[in-house]
Amino acid sequence: MFEHITGFDDASIGASAAVLLGAVDALASGEMWRCSEPDLGRLVQTVEVAQRRLDMVVAAAAVQAHDRGVAAAAGFTTAGAGPEATVRSIAGWLRSLVTISPEPVNFSVYGSGS
């Protein structure tokens, strides 16, 4: 189902990433127009909490990458020294990893509740 989720050395991390994407896809393809008003509010709150937790996962991965010198090893170095140069190299490495998926957007979340 998630062919692009491959190559994890740690199988549990790879499996968790696949489950995460499956859950997000299930929510995105849900028929939001069927939700009650309280459920819509709860869903917004739940997704916001999940986004914050995922931001912390990304931050933890970036810290590990920094500690291990991953950005520099991948060629993301900048002129200068100190914390600013380090932040720029990590930022470049992160930008190289994050792209917008070429898969089409599923607009079924808008439903036909009118």
pLDDT tens profile 15-59: 898 899 899 999 998 889 999 999 999 999 999 999 999 999 998
Say if residue 98's pLDDT is above 70: yes
What pLDDT sits at residue 108? 55
* Cα 59 to the center of its chain, rounded Å: 11
SS3 at position 3: coil
Whether residue 103 has pLDDT greater than 70: no
- My answer on whether 26 and 40 are in the same domain is no
Give 102's pLDDT tier (boundaries 50, 70, 90).
very low
Q: Extract the tokens encoding 82.
A: 């100190």
Give the least confident one: 24-38, 70-84, 92-106. Answer: 92-106
What confidence category does residue 5 fall into, taking pLDDT thresholds of 50, 70 and 90? Answer: low
Same domain, 44 and 6: no
Q: Which residues contact 77 (CB under 8 A, 6 or more apart)?
A: 71, 85, 89
Q: Say if CB 65 and CB 90 are below 8 A apart.
A: yes
Six-digit token string for 57: 């996962």
- Per-residue tokens: 16: 């968790």
Span 82-90, average pLDDT: 75
Q: Which amino acid is at 62?
A: A
* Full domain range(s) for residue 6: 1-30
Instruction: Judge if 55 and 70 occupy the same domain.
Output: yes
Examine residue 107 and state whether it is found in any structural domain, yes or no. no
